[in-house]
Amino acid sequence: NAGVTQTPKFQVLKTGQSMTLQCAQDMNHNSMYWYRQDPGMGLRLIYYSASEGTTDKGEVPNGYNVSRLNKREFSLRLESAAPSQTSVYFCASAPKVSYEQYFGPGTRLTVT
Amino acid sequence: AQKITQTQPGMFVQEKEAVTLDCTYDTSDPSYGLFWYKQPSSGEMIFLIYQGSYDQQNATEGRYSLNFQKARKSANLVISASQLGDSAMYFCAMRELRINFGNEKLTFGTGTRLTIIP
């Protein structure tokens, strides 16, 4: 099992460019999450998907969109990147009833 | 108000000593879970330990234990016999089960950077 995988690992964008961060899990988990991690801020939830076909906003959704393509995949899109979106992005997944979330390795995004 | 507060931005501890990392939380949900994650310099998030609000005993996992004081709303992580490999960022997190029924989204604290000195 690969667990939770994220692509790309690193990305540099210019202001105004768009991109999609990909996340996939092979653990048959129902719930999937996108977080961003900024220095001194801990992890903050951007969007989550409690099950296939549903998505909901988290704490900091502005500037992002998500797609739960199927049970395995949950993508995060930046339509018009801004320097404030420079961060490390983590995807996570969890079974419907679970004690822990499983995290991917993260994507380091820089917007210049 | 902050849901999760970690008041120690950084700590230095001698190898083989025990260390306590502080975490206080704020919730009105009677049903919640508390987590600790470790983030080494490589960046991945590693689950360490979990405590449920109704659990009668403090959680333990190897060298990790959680000092859960419900009335004080604190969930401190204790690492016994620290090792050089324990140097990392440590995050406390909470899941509110009734407010967020049907999903397991977590609220994280800002973390504590632990450095073990040889």
Write the pLDDT tens digit of every residue in A50-94: 888 889 888 899 999 999 989 999 999 999 999 999 999 999 998
Mean pLDDT of A15-25: 97
Contact predicate A51/A31, CB 8 Å: yes
Q: What is the largest CA-CA distance in chain A?
A: 40
Q: Is the pLDDT of residue B2 over 80?
A: no
Residues of B with CB under 8 A from a CB of A: 4, 9, 33, 35, 37, 43-45, 47, 50, 52, 91, 93, 102-111
Q: What percent of chain B has pLDDT over 90?
A: 79
The predicted model gives B44-48 an average pLDDT of 92
- Is the predicted pLDDT of residue B47 greater than 80, yes or no? yes
Whether the predicted pLDDT of B6 surpasses 60: yes
User: What pLDDT score was predicted for residue B99?
Assistant: 61
pLDDT for B101 equals: 61
Residue B28, min C-alpha distance to chain A (Å) = 18
Strands B10-14, B19-21: pairing kind: unpaired
pLDDT tens by residue, B91-117:
999 988 766 665 557 889 999 999 999
Residues of B in contact with A45 (CB under 8 A): 105-107
Residues in chain A within 8 Å Cβ distance of B66: none
Banded pLDDT at A96 (limits 50, 70, 90): low
pLDDT reported for residue A47: 93
Q: Which of A27-41, B33-47, B73-87, B101-115 has the highest mean pLDDT?
A: B73-87
Q: Which residue of chain B has the CA closest to A41?
A: B110
Q: Does A88 contact B at CB distance below 8 Å?
A: yes
Please state, in angstroms and rounded to a whole number, the distance separating the CA atoms of residues B92 and B39.
11
